[in-house]
Chains A and B, each alone.
Chain A
């Protein structure tokens, strides 16, 4: 008896299987870690490169001056920064209500074939190439305002076409995880459906909705192609999206690189600085999204 209980564990430890399993475990751990590092390399090198090349172009002038009448090394990108913020803000004002209300329809009201059809079209919309969205917005405004029209708001409309499906998708996912028992608790108190949605479902999902919107904004803030054909290229500050061309950071970077003029290095520096500024904006949005999420998240069982 005594010897039997002693030998059993020792056979388990000494067996070839234990050794093999450990070898497989180590191999897989190494492989998975390597894959992770490999995936990180482009990301880190990108951020590093943009920072390295962008920082020389950053100056007070970059943030405070526009580029009107600048033919030398001077001039800034304030008009592009303001343009990016205005165009993105207007795009969000258009997309967020439409997107969230559409998600509410899909998750709370829609049923049957209409719902399935709408979900399908949202999926299709997610895959629209961004230049198509730009051309769509251009064609739409051309109908009313004539050919050659360029406005900030046209860019916003183009970006909305890209942003709405992302907002719908993320909002739908968030609404889906609001548990049904909370809706039922509200119904059982004699609460009408719309009030259940506005007072119980949306507040519960609030943190997730904000995160989804931020991600959608981050996704569109750096779009170039649709803005090239809708907002145009301009050197001067314009804060009115409904009047005249409007510059933005992505197009600004593209333009400085494409036609650097005589002072090539200064133009390239400014292009990289614009890229760095864009990345910084996206990062700030992400951090804001995280803070909002942490502050407002509700424990959902």
Chain B
């Protein structure tokens, strides 16, 4: 409910305007962030393979900045595979392969000489299972991006980044007195917010989320959804979800994936504004799926 309300207020004309005038935004923290982050992802004719298995076929879509794009569809239709191809995580699976073009504000992320490590710095990811680093404290988990990637960040700067990321993830108040405790000491929902803080601490431009709420209870889910609708002020967000209510609540754009039969590649059936996708979809398959007739 909350997510939907915020969505309406934010999805209007406010966001593109900000993107057009980088310096003129309101002085508040999220707004200044919006000026530097949030890029458009352009996907053209993407085919994904695991060895000989053709997992996803011919996806072409544009993912708008400062919007939440939900990928929905039944299990095994390649949503997660597709998501992982957006920050070059797909190729980490042995024998996995990508065909086609994915660009970030016009820059081909699969281009020659592009370092996948750099791509992943710009396009962060939150996973299905909350996965804080078990050897690190809450503080070090959030600072992990800085600690792992840059040499010598001054402590004061780190403190600043950690506090901002934790506040951004609505976790600061709950953990500020125990930043030295291990990340695994938190509850599942808190751990997932910790992972979101960890992903946003490196200030990516896009945030990919792979069923971020599937391991969480309804209250924790609501907290994450609220957070998502706020994060889109700063990032382009793509979220895979099994939960259609979640897609309806938390997203601005919905893309429906389906596959004709088991063993056949998944493909993008339809993509459009979430309201339209759930009330008046063009494709029969979409209607059947969102109305709960299968899947």
Binding site for B on A (CB under 8 A): 111, 179, 181-182, 184-192, 195-196, 199-200, 203-204, 206, 298-301
**B-side contacts of A199, CB under 8 Å:** 147-148
**B-side contacts of A190, CB under 8 Å:** 117-122, 145, 149, 202
**B-side contacts of A184, CB under 8 Å:** 89, 92, 125, 127, 131
Are A298 and B92 interface neighbours, CB within 8 A? no
Interchain CA distance A206-B133 in the complex, whole Å: 13
Are A189 and B94 interface neighbours, CB within 8 A? no
Are B131 and A182 interface neighbours, CB within 8 A? yes
**A-side contacts of B124, CB under 8 Å:** 188-189
**A-side contacts of B92, CB under 8 Å:** 184, 187
Are A191 and B148 interface neighbours, CB within 8 A? yes
Instruction: Kindly supply a per-residue 1/0 record for chain B positions 143-173, scoring 1 wherever the CB is within 8 Å of any chain A CB and 0 otherwise.
Output: 0110111000000000000000000000000
Q: Is B32 an interface residue (CB 8 A)?
A: no
Q: Is B259 an interface residue (CB 8 A)?
A: no
Nearest CB in chain A: distance from B106 CB, A: 20
Contact of B144 among A111, A186, A192 (CB under 8 A): A186
Interchain CA distance A203-B145 in the complex, whole Å: 16
**B-side contacts of A185, CB under 8 Å:** 127, 131-133, 195, 198
Nearest CB in chain A: distance from B173 CB, A: 24
Known: A184-B92, A186-B148. A204 touches B133 (CB 8 A): yes
Are B89 and A188 interface neighbours, CB within 8 A? yes
Binding site for A on B (CB under 8 A): 87, 89, 92, 94, 117-122, 124-125, 127, 129, 131-135, 144-145, 147-149, 184, 195, 198-199, 202
Are B127 and A189 interface neighbours, CB within 8 A? no
**B-side contacts of A196, CB under 8 Å:** 148
Q: Which chain B residue shows the least CB distance to A190?
A: B121
The 7 closest A-B pairs by CB, nearest first: A190-B121, A188-B125, A298-B134, A203-B135, A190-B120, A189-B145, A191-B148
Q: Which chain A residue shows the least CB distance to B84?
A: A184
**B-side contacts of A191, CB under 8 Å:** 117, 145, 148-149
Are A204 and B135 interface neighbours, CB within 8 A? yes
Interchain CA distance A191-B119 in the complex, whole Å: 11
Q: Which chain A residue shows the least CB distance to B95?
A: A111
Are B184 and A299 interface neighbours, CB within 8 A? yes
Apart from the given pairs A184-B92, A189-B202, A204-B134, 10 other A-B contacts in the complex at a CB distance below 8 Å: A184-B89, A184-B131, A185-B131, A185-B198, A187-B92, A188-B120, A189-B121, A189-B149, A190-B118, A191-B145
**B-side contacts of A300, CB under 8 Å:** 134
Q: Which chain B residue shows the least CB distance to A297?
A: B134
Are B129 and A189 interface neighbours, CB within 8 A? no
Are B134 and A182 interface neighbours, CB within 8 A? yes
Nearest CB in chain B: distance from A213 CB, A: 18
**B-side contacts of A189, CB under 8 Å:** 120-121, 124, 144-145, 148-149, 198-199, 202
Interchain CA distance A301-B131 in the complex, whole Å: 9
Are A181 and B131 interface neighbours, CB within 8 A? yes
**B-side contacts of A195, CB under 8 Å:** 148-149
Interchain CA distance A18-B201 in the complex, whole Å: 63
**A-side contacts of B145, CB under 8 Å:** 189-191
Q: Which chain A residue shows the least CB distance to B121?
A: A190
**A-side contacts of B117, CB under 8 Å:** 187, 190-192
Interchain CA distance A188-B120 in the complex, whole Å: 5
**A-side contacts of B135, CB under 8 Å:** 200, 203-204, 206, 298
